Amino acid sequence: MQDFTGRFEALVTLARSATGDEAALLALAAAAAGAVRGAPAVLEAGFELGAAAAEEGMLKRRLLARSVDRVVVAEGAPAAELLALARALAADAGALPSTAAVAVGLVEVVRPGSGLPAAAPAREPSEGIQLLGEQELLPRRARPRTGLGREMEALARAVEAAARRRQWLEALHAAQALVRLEHRFPEVERRTFVLEVRRVLVRPILEGIIELALRIPEEQDRAAEVLRWLGAPGADVMVDHLKGLEQAAPGRFLHDALVAMPSAVPLLVPLLDGDSPVAARQAALLLGRLRSPAALPGLVRLAAHSDPRPRLAALDALAGFSERQAAEALHRALGHAHAETRARAAAALGRRGPPAAMPLLAVLEREGDPAARRALLAAVAGTDAPQVGEALAALVLRRRTILHRDAWPDAERLSAVAALGEVRTEAARQALERIAREGEGEVAAAARRAAAGERGAGSGRGGERGSRSPFPGPRSPSTATSSPAQTHPRARRGCG
């Protein structure tokens, strides 16, 4: 059974990807059919409340998205029928084929407030292919008589009506009110409620809501609440939207929403090896925050990509992994021909602490690019390893002689002092104090100002260093409220 499940999941995954070719699909379908021996293979979606089922893999998510309760595959089922079902599950809409050998059962729809379903009469097995989804096989029950059921119906109609008129603000407000009804339903009816809401909040509506939130930052918290509530369907739409964003900043609220959804990891990992550098960069930024071990091999490969955009994002992401494989990839990047790549790798290694100090110091001594040298110096100081302060001071104070022709000019010394002033570690303090004592002229004066905590010491850039990731981690309280996008709209007006 497990062998069949794995092979069929691989078939659905390949059918959903843009690179699936017919020969590979047929081979996987034949392998899956051959794995059913003896007893029939049974696939169950597991429509539980919560995200546990959605986090199990691609196959579970596709069954959930298409409202499939279970699939029963008999021994000897034709590979062509398995392939037809895999293609239908990979699609976001359309009919689902069901045959005697590959029987598909949809989730029975029960209207909230109408009680538990009565036992349905057994149906005669169909011959040939029966298309589920082209017609409503389960009759819609009468509109619920409870006030709560009528409220749900009214909100669902409001969402759909607003979407037809492309009034996405109205649709979003109604959608938020709709999902917030969940806790008011009895436990026994919540499963049905979740399914019903997922049928209302279909992909085109979710895409309209995302576009609205990108235009109106005040609505981003509301949109994120709805998308997170939906689970796997919401994650799928958010990831697809992010794949086309050149810049990370506009989609910040999507990143923040997806970071709280581990079920997004299987959607993101394949993008690391895809054909789109833009999608790979977005995936790397997110996976660096999620820190899933499943992403590590892809991030290591991406760190050697020919395009600097995904390569730099991968280096930022690898900074959060403690595994040796990540450290080795970062050390290799220190020898890259691209100066910004070396700088970003240095910053990532510096965050690993004292063990990275000596290798970084060795690279710093031979680095020729001023910007990369500054990043390396800050990274070494950031490790706060013993004796690093003295070593950094010696590099800054080194004078040009016959033996040391590579001594830094005053402009670069001042830049180094400014970089040390931005790193609040004991090693940086020791280096600044020694430079202040033994240095000369403006370099010594800049070191004294930096050691005293004065901003703007030296001639380097102040503030945040350019080697930082666009999304370095949780925001401090002071920055979390600095943008309207991060302030819940209810703080300024009602939810509507």
Give 483's contacts (C-beta < 8 A, 6+ positions apart).
217
- Report the pLDDT value the prediction gives residue 92, as an integer from 0 to 100: 79
- Report the pLDDT value the prediction gives residue 403, as an integer from 0 to 100: 58
Q: pLDDT band for 487, please (50, 70, 90 cuts).
A: very low
Q: pLDDT band for 477, please (50, 70, 90 cuts).
A: very low
pLDDT higher than threshold 60 for residue 262: yes
Q: Secondary structure of the chain in the HEC alphabet? A: CHHHHHHHHHHHHHHHCCCCCHHHHHHHHHHHHHCCCCCCEEEECCCCCCCCHHHCCHHHHHHHHCCEEEEEECCCCCHHHHHHHHHHHHCCCCCEEECCCEEEEECCCCCCCCCCCCCCCCCCCCCCCEEECCCCCCCCCCCCCCHHHHHHHHHHHHHHHHHHCCCHHHHHHHHHHHHCCHHHCCHHHHHHHHHHHHHHCCHHHHHHHHHHHHHCHHHHHHHHHHHHHHCHHHHHHHHHHHCCCCCCHHHHHHHHHHHCCHHHHHHHHHHHHCCCHHHHHHHHHHHHHHCCHHHHHHHHHHCCCCCHHHHHHHHHHHCCCCCHHHHHHHHHHCCCCCHHHHHHHHHHHHCCCHHHHHHHHHHHHHCCCHHHHHHHHHHHHHHCCCCHHHHHHHHHHCCCCCCCCCCCCHHHHHHHHHHHHHCCCHHHHHHHHHHHHHCCHHHHHHHHHHHCCCCCCCCCCCCCCCCCCCCCCCCCHHHHCCCHHHCCHHHCCCCC
pTM, two decimals, is 0.62
What average pLDDT does the segment 240-248 reach? 84
What average pLDDT does the segment 465-489 reach? 40
* CA distances to 178, 295, 375 from 452, in Å: 56, 43, 22
pLDDT higher than threshold 70 for residue 39: yes
- Report the pLDDT value the prediction gives residue 130, as an integer from 0 to 100: 38
Q: Higher model confidence: residue 322 or residue 108?
A: 322
Give 247's contacts (C-beta < 8 A, 6+ positions apart).
none
Lowest mean pLDDT among 22-36, 102-116, 124-138, 441-455: 124-138
Q: Higher model confidence: residue 247 or residue 39?
A: 39
pLDDT higher than threshold 50 for residue 11: yes
List the structure tokens of 301: 């490969």
- Report the pLDDT value the prediction gives residue 23, as an integer from 0 to 100: 84
Q: pLDDT band for 197, please (50, 70, 90 cuts).
A: very high
**In the chain, % of residues over pLDDT 90:** 34
- Report the pLDDT value the prediction gives residue 382, as an integer from 0 to 100: 85
Beta bridge partners of 68: 106
Give the span between the Cα atoms of 77 and 74, in whole angstroms: 6
**In the chain, % of residues over pLDDT 70:** 78
pLDDT higher than threshold 80 for residue 180: yes
The set of long-range contacts for 213-220, using a CB threshold of 8 Å and a minimum separation of 24, is: 213/172, 213/253, 214/250, 214/251, 216/169, 217/253, 217/483, 217/484, 217/485, 218/484, 218/485, 218/487, 218/489, 218/492, 219/169, 219/172, 219/489, 220/253, 220/485
> Cα dihedral sign for 325, 328, 332, 333?
positive
- Report the pLDDT value the prediction gives residue 1, as an integer from 0 to 100: 53
- Report the pLDDT value the prediction gives residue 110, as an integer from 0 to 100: 40
Strands across the sheet with 102-106, in order?
41-44, 68-73, 102-106
What average pLDDT does the segment 445-451 reach? 88
Top mean-pLDDT range of 18-22, 224-228, 476-480, 488-492: 224-228
What average pLDDT does the segment 41-51 reach? 59
- Report the pLDDT value the prediction gives residue 387, as an integer from 0 to 100: 80
Mean residue pLDDT across the chain: 79
pLDDT higher than threshold 50 for residue 118: no
pLDDT higher than threshold 70 for residue 28: yes
Q: pLDDT band for 2, please (50, 70, 90 cuts).
A: low
Locus of tokens 């001071």: 393
Q: Helix 220-230 and helix 168-179: axis angle, to 10°?
A: 50
* CA distances to 95, 169, 212, 285 from 496, in Å: 37, 10, 16, 34
> Cα dihedral sign for 14, 15, 21, 25?
positive
Give the span between the Cα atoms of 346 and 338, in whole angstroms: 13
Q: Higher model confidence: residue 3 or residue 436?
A: 436
pLDDT higher than threshold 70 for residue 460: no
- Report the pLDDT value the prediction gives residue 135, as an integer from 0 to 100: 37
